Chains A and B, each alone.
Chain A
Amino acid sequence: MLTLTVNGTQHSIDVEADTPLLWVLRDELQLTGTKFGCGAGLCGACTVLLEGKPVRSCLMPASAVDGKSITTIEGLSKDKSHPVQRAWIAESVPQCGYCQSGMILAAAALLATNPRPSDADIDMAITNVCRCGTYNHVRRAIHRAAESQA
């Protein structure tokens, strides 16, 4: 039995220990905002915050998150009010949107530790793949979110 806190709510879940956190979130908790992209930690679509740090949930076995606290896109704010979400709306970042849950969480994690990131900081922190090519919008939205928090 796995115990974990997701978006502030504690859950006890009966899954095999090797089940990736991604599928625990999606199939056991129906938190489908976290996306499956590659299953190999390469694309970042499955990014969630584990104790506040961005991790790729497709490679994170359930056994490694027992007793831990996780934030998914559904838990970033109640009403799309997180500065990153507001900036994302203002800059109209998403196209297909499939990578954006992971992008937004990676951006939120960056701003949590570095409130005014430079372009170089953003280059280092945002390694999520966007096939629609929204990268310049992502960069602008991160700067906007940073300014809104200043």
Chain B
Amino acid sequence: MPESRRLELPNISRRKFVNVAVAAGALGGLALSIKLPAQERAGWRGVARPPRDPGAFLQISEDDAITIISPAVEMGQGGHTSMSIIIMEELGGRWDRLHVVDAAAAGIYDNPMFGQQSTVGSFSVRGWYTELRRIGAAARMMLVAAAARRWHVPEHECTVADSEIVHARSGRRCSFGSVARLAAKMRVPQQPELKPTGEFRVIGHSPPRVDIRDKVDGSARYGIDVVLPNMLYAAVRTCPTHGGRLKSFDDSACRSVAGFEKTVPLPDGVIVIARSYWQARKALERLRTDFDPGRLAGLTSEKVSARLHQGFDEPGTLARNDGDAEAALARAATKLEAVYEVPYLAHACMEPMNCTARVTDEGCEVWCGTQSPQAAQAGAAQVLGIPTSRVKVNTQYLGGGFGRRGQADFVTQAVTAAKATGGRPVKLIWTREEDIQHDWYRPAAAIRFRGGLDAAGRLVALDCKVVTASAPAFGRPGGPPFYTEGISTATYRIPNFRVTGVDQNLGIRFGFWRSVNDSHNPFMLEGFIDELARAAKQDPYLFRRAMLQDERPDARRQLALLDLLAAKAGWQHPPAGHAFGITAFTAFGSFVGAVAEVSMQDQIVNLHRVILGIDCGVAVDPDNIAAQCEGGMVFGLTAALRGEITLENGAVTQSNFHDYPMLQLVEMPRVDCHIVPSAAPPGGVGEPSTATIAPALANAIYAASDLRLRSLPMIRHQLGFRAVRT
């Protein structure tokens, strides 16, 4: 990497769409002038407006190389590939000439559905599907216009395939690169013509993932791999008690460690800087710190649980209120009540949090894996008291994100360190212990359900009090409590249905954890639905079917998915000694579900098979959708089996993979994933399946043993686990 004290601030504009190998070096830079088009800033989000500037999303060089500037970061979810598939479908470029880079922090990369430049919420494909098609189509039309002008032929006589424009009547053809410079001068079509979906050759066909080859030989560059000339290394210790403050510290013993440079205090910790990372770690061990633990000093998991349960008696905020649940419960022939509960969870990305920063008189440059380049930019700017326009964010591959890397705490720490090193860059790397103990946790949550069945065994009343250790501002301030989603959005037809949310913000940091509210709500609701089915003496699959019998599109799609799962499992005829648990629901704009096939042997749960199903609308990259469903399920299975963050004295008890263990290969079940063919607009893919396994497994365990899991993790119930692949 060339040594440069000056920030390069390339102005990504349509001119670059042209273009040429020289400009390629400027890619990914800070795009000061790039903002959302005025129409979109004004709230005009439909397809009637012109597409966003193609030059900010793709470049074609004269040697026919195609560079896609991905508005979605790559954290394993296949974002780079999915974004490229959508653009390339309409562009007609050759997949083997494709190269993908990450977008700079700039408003033009705000997700059209979500409104921020964040790779979160399974929003990338569903937010960008239409816009990137329009951008790809606009670029194709500009290339065609350039070729047609050169040949003096009508544009409509030209066709595009494999990075070439062809004029069949005259037998002429030319490559994209040969007309790219001229194409950049063409008018951007205001209403680009999109391909009929029946002609798709890329969407739905899973070309090779663009990041695989770099990930098999060590050349993939993650945040932690950034190397800059003259770079220093940093390690950090923050107060174990959440909300605690640094009182004093003594670094005199650090000074005897070779390579030690300096310490930099933080409000809640101390950064140690040295010439190598190991030297920084050794110096950190000798650092003496005195923390004021603050108001959470006495907080324990037992107190968290007690506060959640107190919430059941608080009025809370109404999220849904169909009919009259109270009156219908009073009349019900059979009443059932149950409390479900789950603990805090950590993300445990494989790549511990880290960031490299360089601060100079001109501004600041950071390198990191981030799900939100703009959050990283804002965090750095705030530390330095400079405008965001003077912060350049260089997004790298993410060694896992799962919602954790939408935060910028590790960025502000690195910038604080780099502010104190006279312009030398600093790479700050958290230990795994810091990573586990200073996460933004999936909040602990509990729900009290009260259900009523009529004499025919129909669910006529359901009252749900959802209590989480989060806050109203978690997700969607102003609307119904965000954390009730997955309960209040249930597709089932229940005539008297009330959902109330209560938040108990205890001061422990909480955040988005793969599948967010669905990481607990479907486990709880689908478990209770199963209990109601048993109370009604009905088959749990048929009980669910009965509540989806209407013409609403959502009900039809969820029913079709449920039926697919039951059919693929052979629901009515489980193998001898085996039992099934089923679940299906809507999440992130998709319909998703699972059947778990288990047998019980003493206190050991044998998991024989997991059948996953998803209706995510148009399947942009089916191979990746299957991989995401499978991997997301593993994320949920790990949590269901043993995921638990506990608190003592306001500090997290767990510290590394020995006490926050991950699922291992030996425990990996057979997984069959089924994708429902659909022409509906794309739904989310990265997160929905995470939510399926806990309810499917809990319901299967009940079917096999009459043991009802109303809390997680499973290990708390003295149950062992084994995957049996036969």
Q: Nearest chain B CB to A43's CB is how many angstroms away?
A: 5
Residue from B222, B227, B631, B725 within 8 A of A98 (CB atoms)? B222
Residue from B227, B282, B432, B631 within 8 A of A95 (CB atoms)? B631
Is the Cβ of A33 less than 8 Å from the Cβ of B666? Answer: no
Is the Cβ of B627 less than 8 Å from the Cβ of A23? Answer: no
Is the Cβ of B75 less than 8 Å from the Cβ of A96? Answer: yes
- Secondary structure class of chain B's binding surface, majority of residues: loop
| Interface-side segment among B21-29, B64-72, B208-216 | B208-216
| Interface-side segment among B122-130, B345-353, B472-480 | B345-353
Closest A residue to B667 by beta carbon equals: A135
Once the chains are docked, how many angstroms separate the CA of A89 from the CA of B657?
A: 28
**0/1 interface trace, chain A 49-62, chain B, CB 8 Å (1 if under):** 00000000000000
Q: Nearest chain A CB to B726's CB is how many angstroms away?
A: 10
Contacting A at CB under 8 A, from B584-639, are 623, 627-628, 630-635
Is the Cβ of B278 less than 8 Å from the Cβ of A33? Answer: no
Is the Cβ of A137 less than 8 Å from the Cβ of B627? Answer: yes
Is the Cβ of B276 less than 8 Å from the Cβ of A101? Answer: no
Q: Which residues on the B side are within 8 Å of A134 (C-beta)?
A: 627, 631
Q: Is A119 an interface residue (CB 8 A)?
A: yes
Q: Which residues on the B side are within 8 Å of A32 (C-beta)?
A: 218, 221, 224-225, 227
Q: Which residues on the A side are within 8 Å of B443 (C-beta)?
A: none
Is the Cβ of A97 less than 8 Å from the Cβ of B224? Answer: no
Q: Which residues on the A side are within 8 Å of B349 (C-beta)?
A: 96, 98, 131
Q: How many residues of A contact B (CB 8 A)?
A: 61
Contacting B at CB under 8 A, from A14-48, are 15-16, 18-20, 23, 26-28, 30-40, 42-43, 45
Listed A/B pairs (7) with beta-carbon separation below 8 Å: A36-B429, A37-B350, A89-B212, A94-B215, A96-B75, A131-B350, A135-B664
Q: Which residues on the B side are within 8 Å of A18 (C-beta)?
A: 282
The 9 A-B residue pairs with the shortest CB-CB distance, nearest first, are A33-B218, A133-B634, A96-B76, A98-B399, A97-B215, A95-B76, A133-B631, A73-B218, A135-B668
Is the Cβ of B348 less than 8 Å from the Cβ of A36? Answer: no
**0/1 interface trace, chain B 197-237, chain A, CB 8 Å (1 if under):** 00000000000110111111111111011010000010000
Contacting B at CB under 8 A, from A80-95, are 80, 85, 88-89, 92-95
Q: Nearest chain A CB to B721's CB is how many angstroms away?
A: 14
Q: Is B152 an interface residue (CB 8 A)?
A: no
Q: Which residues on the A side are within 8 Å of B217 (C-beta)?
A: 33, 73-74, 76-77, 80, 85
Is the Cβ of A34 less than 8 Å from the Cβ of B627? Answer: no
Q: Nearest chain B CB to A98's CB is how many angstroms away?
A: 3
Q: Which residues on the A side are within 8 Å of B227 (C-beta)?
A: 30, 32
Is the Cβ of A130 less than 8 Å from the Cβ of B350? Answer: yes
Contacting A at CB under 8 A, from B653-710, are 656-658, 662-666, 668, 670-671
Q: Which residues on the A side are within 8 Å of B402 (C-beta)?
A: 131
Q: Is B431 an interface residue (CB 8 A)?
A: yes
Residue from A31, A97, A123 within 8 A of B399 (CB atoms)? A97
Once the chains are docked, how many angstroms separate the CA of A43 from the CA of B432?
A: 11
Q: Nearest chain A CB to B693's CB is how many angstroms away?
A: 11
Q: Which residues on the B side are within 8 Å of A98 (C-beta)?
A: 222, 349-351, 399-400
Extra contacts besides A33-B217, A37-B352, A39-B431 (7): CB < 8 Å: A20-B278, A40-B656, A43-B350, A94-B215, A95-B76, A96-B351, A132-B76
Q: How many residues of B contact A (CB 8 A)?
A: 63
Contacting A at CB under 8 A, from B70-125, are 75-78
Q: Is B397 an interface residue (CB 8 A)?
A: yes
> How many cross-chain pairs have Cβ atoms below 8 Å apart between A and B?
177
Contacting B at CB under 8 A, from A98-150, are 98-101, 104, 119, 122-124, 126-139
Q: Is B330 an interface residue (CB 8 A)?
A: no
Q: Which residues on the A side are within 8 Å of B222 (C-beta)?
A: 35, 98
Q: A23-B278, A43-B657 are in contact. Are A97 and B213 (CB under 8 A)?
A: no
Q: A35-B350, A131-B348, A134-B631 are in contact. Are A94 and B278 (CB under 8 A)?
A: no
Q: Is B277 an interface residue (CB 8 A)?
A: yes
Q: Which residues on the B side are within 8 Å of A19 (C-beta)?
A: 276, 278
Q: A80-B216, A137-B627 are in contact. Are A37 and B432 (CB under 8 A)?
A: yes
Is the Cβ of B224 less than 8 Å from the Cβ of A35? Answer: yes
Q: Which residues on the A side are within 8 Å of B400 (C-beta)?
A: 96, 98, 131-132
Closest A residue to B258 by beta carbon equals: A16
Once the chains are docked, how many angstroms separate the CA of A31 from the CA of B217?
A: 11
Once the chains are docked, how many angstroms separate the CA of A36 from the CA of B657?
A: 13
Is the Cβ of B630 less than 8 Å from the Cβ of A136? Answer: yes
Q: Which residues on the A side are within 8 Å of B214 (C-beta)?
A: 97
Is the Cβ of B671 less than 8 Å from the Cβ of A31? Answer: no
Is the Cβ of A133 less than 8 Å from the Cβ of B216? Answer: no
Is the Cβ of B224 less than 8 Å from the Cβ of A36? Answer: yes
Q: Is B398 an interface residue (CB 8 A)?
A: yes
Is the Cβ of A88 less than 8 Å from the Cβ of B350? Answer: no
> Could you say which of B211, B221, B666, B670 has the most chain A C-beta atoms within 10 Å of its C-beta?
B666
Q: Which residues on the A side are within 8 Å of B670 (C-beta)?
A: 136
Q: Nearest chain A CB to B170's CB is how many angstroms away?
A: 41
Once the chains are docked, how many angstroms separate the CA of A103 from the CA of B633?
A: 20
Residue from B397, B627, B662, B668 within 8 A of A131 (CB atoms)? B662
Is the Cβ of A135 less than 8 Å from the Cβ of B351? Answer: no
> Could you say which of B213, B399, B633, B662 has the most chain A C-beta atoms within 10 Å of its C-beta?
B399
Closest B residue to A22 by beta carbon equals: B278
Closest A residue to B669 by beta carbon equals: A136
Q: Which residues on the B side are within 8 Å of A34 (C-beta)?
A: 218
Q: Which residues on the B side are within 8 Å of A96 (C-beta)?
A: 75-76, 349-351, 397-401
Residue from A26, A73, A135 within 8 A of B665 (CB atoms)? A135
Once the chains are docked, how many angstroms separate the CA of A60 from the CA of B180?
A: 53
Once the chains are docked, how many angstroms separate the CA of A28 from the CA of B432?
A: 22
Q: Which residues on the B side are within 8 Å of A36 (C-beta)?
A: 224, 352, 429
Q: A33-B217, A42-B657 are in contact. Are A99 and B350 (CB under 8 A)?
A: yes
> Could you say which of A36, A122, A124, A128 has the most chain B C-beta atoms within 10 Å of its C-beta?
A36
Q: Nearest chain B CB to A65's CB is how many angstroms away?
A: 14
Is the Cβ of A40 less than 8 Å from the Cβ of B658? Answer: yes
